[in-house]
Amino acid sequence: MNNAGLTRPRRPGPTRESPHQRPRRRSGFTLIEVLVVVAIIALLVAILLPSLARARDLARQSVCFSNCHQMSVALTLYTIHHRHYPGHHSGKVIYWPPRLLRYVGKQNRVFWCPNAPPETYWNGKDQILSQKPAAGAKNQIGTFSYGYNDWGVGDSIKGFTNLGLGAWVGHATNGELKVDKVKRPQEMIAIADNDVNKDNLYSNKVNNFDTAIDPNTKEAGEYPGDRHRKGANVAFCDGHAEWLLQKALIEPRKRMRQRWNNDFKNHCALWEDLPAAMPCSPGE
């Protein structure tokens, strides 16, 4: 074969870059790109966090609502067995949770709202007091997350009238209320979230009584709570539960105040917050 006139192609060898040649771009993100990604993530977090917080609060409210339903059923079972309601306290010792514990299958967590401070948790064994235990005291707690309707609107500056489910355990007049005294069990408020939170865990009062609820006292020390979307879960005497706004539970309306009293009357003459323009007839 005649290879005349043909030259062998030269293999390209290593070349030296010109000092004026631009350097090759390295793979990776620029600062601008990183900042854009971070901004997008921050935006998504800002959008999702409120939804996650609402979902968490709704889950806790559902647990609390279930607790109130179980306490309502327990109350019904207790009254079937004893023919009276459990009563609230004797001296500074609180009775109603221990008396109902058996009727919730000894599930002590039923008596703790997950939105309440952890100090209000009851282990099912410690003695519950109406006030902060003495320094160094063991097996006692002095705060709680649910309250018992012991007086209805009958706890006022005008004295005590047994319109609730019974306050003083063992007392002949103001003790455990007989079942037939509750005229409308389906309307009678029995137990509800109380108003305890981290800011008023222990009040300056001698008696704290977190274990009671009361719509009538101006000091608001025993109001039903507002920790679930500004409202409280409420157990009634017939075995059912409801969620109600705190404002609705405590406002001075005759229809609502009837639901606090065992005779289903409003007893407006006993209200500490009776509006001046509201007529109040004897026997209401």
Q: What is the pTM of this model?
A: 0.81
pLDDT band at 229 (very low <50, low <70, confident <90, very high): very high
Residues 165-218 have pLDDT tens digits of 999 999 999 999 999 999 999 999 999 999 888 777 776 565 678 899 999 866
The residue assigned the tokens 């003459």 is 269
Is residue 275 within 8 A of residue 228, CB to CB? The reply is no
What Cα–Cα distance (Å) separates residue 209 from each residue in 128, 146, 169, 197? 10, 10, 15, 14
Position 263 pLDDT exceeds 90 = yes
User: What is the pLDDT at residue 208?
Assistant: 72
CB 85 within 8 A of CB 95: no
Inter-residue contact 192 to 113 (CB < 8 Å): no
pLDDT tens digit string along 72-118? 999 999 999 999 999 999 999 999 999 999 999 999 999 999 999 99
Contacts of 69 (CB under 8 A, 6+ apart): 235, 239, 240, 241
Residue 260 has a pLDDT of 97
The answer for residues whose C-beta is within 8 angstroms of residue 29's C-beta and 6 or more apart is 37
| Phi, psi for residue 35 in degrees, rounded to 5 | -65, -35
> How far is the CA of 128 from the CAs of 33, 84, 87, 148, 233, in angstroms?
60, 21, 14, 13, 22
- Give the end-to-end CA distance of the chain in Å, rounded to a whole number: 129
Mean pLDDT of the chain: 87
> Residue 160: CB partners within 8 Å, gap ≥ 6?
151, 154, 167, 174
Reported as a single tens digit per residue, the pLDDT across 32-86 is 888 888 888 888 877 777 767 777 888 999 999 999 999 999 999 999 999 999 9
Using only the alpha carbons of the chain, give its radius of gyration. Answer: 33
